Amino acid sequence: MFGNLKTQPADKILMLMQLFKDDPRPTKIDLGVGVYKNAKGETPIMRAVKAAEKQLWEQETSKSYVALAGDPGFADAMINLVLGNAVDRGNVSAAATPGGTGACRQAFEMARMANPDVRVFVSNPTWPNHLSILKHLGIETVTYRYFDNGTRGVDFEGMLEDLAQAKPGDLVLLHGCCHNPTGANLNLAQWQAVVDVLLKTGATPMIDIAYQGFGDGLEEDAAATRLVASSVPEMLIAASCSKNFGVYRERTGILMAVTADKGLSTLTQGTLAYLNRQNYSFPPDHGARLVTMILNDDALRADWAAELEEVRLSMLGLRQQLADELRKLTGSDQFGFIAQHRGMFSRLGVSPEVVSQLRDDHAIYAVGDSRINIAGLNKETVPALAKALHKCGV
């Protein structure tokens, strides 16, 4: 039986991680893997997470299952964090998932249950795992224009033209903030135009929000998701706690479904629980429990928000430093977009040959499409990257 299996394509980012690990050069810089790192190159445990873990260790009395959809308290806390007062709580169903990836997988499954012929519109480019999961599920994908490689901004007119081709029963996948892999984002006026297209076509939006708090702030990064939720009759939201709480290995995520009325919310809640049961039964609870404790405790929440803001400002500082260094070296503002992008990533728009040259000649590792992880830099390595890019002729 196993002899009939086919070799699956290797994950390019995981391959890049291994190449970096095997590189003996002491000056090597990893800008590939999408994990936040501080100035020391470490991914620390946030102070509030440490404090909550200590409390949990002292107070927890059981490791028994919670519920198929996870702890209702986690759902309430996350719905409040992401949606605020944008919609009535009774119109939102939710289920905890193993990370944002699990939330996306369950969202695609649910969309297919609702419409076996569903098409999913995805930005060009998007997070590669979106495409991988959709292909594995056999769901048709339609790409819409998003990144303008000339301006390194959003091809907004092209995006609207392509989204206008959607129809009722289709799912339109959007990045809530800090677009991965480009770092280029819509402003609120552009989001309103997207909402207008969605209402005209009757397509259902799905927002993947994995970096809330990494862009312009917790509330600011949620603004687009809240605008969409308050404007359309129904939508899906996949949220991750991996980045903004730093609980990567705890696999903490949630899938929300916003419906037009409470009756449909009961139906979607049952469907979410059903999907969890078919996939992994009960979702992980440890990370979700920590997140719930932090969001419901004023002191822990304040400390978490303060540390998250330090992380956000650090990345903005690195962006500005890199843009300034490249401006000095090139005598132009062609890389000024780096300071305007938001989140962990920016797509530089350089060729695969330049990316290879950065790796081979300068021990700087980036994804082949020229996406770099800004959080993989520090004040000392920013000049090294700028000089390397300049030496590569960009």
Domain boundaries, the chain: 10-44+301-391, 65-296
Tens digit of each residue's pLDDT (9 = 90 or more) over 206-244: 999 999 999 999 999 999 999 999 999 999 999 999 999
Model confidence at 394, in pLDDT bands (50, 70, 90)? confident
pLDDT of residue 11: 80
Model confidence at 13, in pLDDT bands (50, 70, 90)? confident
Residue 40 has pLDDT above 90, yes or no: no
Residue 15 has pLDDT above 90, yes or no: no
| CA torsion angle 381 319 81 144 (round to 10) | -110
Q: Are strands 235-240 and 364-365 parallel, antiparallel or unpaired?
A: unpaired
Please provide the average confidence, as pLDDT, over all residues in the chain: 96
End-to-end Cα separation, the chain, in angstroms: 51
Q: What residues are annotated to the active site? A: 127, 208, 210, 243
Residue 34 has pLDDT above 90, yes or no: no
CATH 3.40.640.10 fits 65-296, yes or no: yes
- Read off the tokens for 274: 């059903």
Percent of the chain surpassing pLDDT 70? 100
pLDDT of residue 12: 79
CB contact at 8 A, 174 and 205: yes
Residue 23 has pLDDT above 90, yes or no: yes
Model confidence at 41, in pLDDT bands (50, 70, 90)? confident
pLDDT of residue 33: 83
Tens digit of each residue's pLDDT (9 = 90 or more) over 162-212: 999 999 999 999 999 999 999 999 999 999 999 999 999 999 999 999 999
Residue 229: C-alpha distances to residues 177, 185, 246 (Å):
15, 18, 26
d(CA 59, CA 328): 55
Strands (E) located in the chain: 29-30, 92-98, 119-124, 140-145, 147-148, 153-154, 171-175, 204-209, 235-240, 252-258, 345-347, 364-365, 371-373
Q: Which fold has domain 10-44+301-391?
A: Aspartate Aminotransferase, domain 1 (3.90.1150)
d(CA 98, CA 336): 37
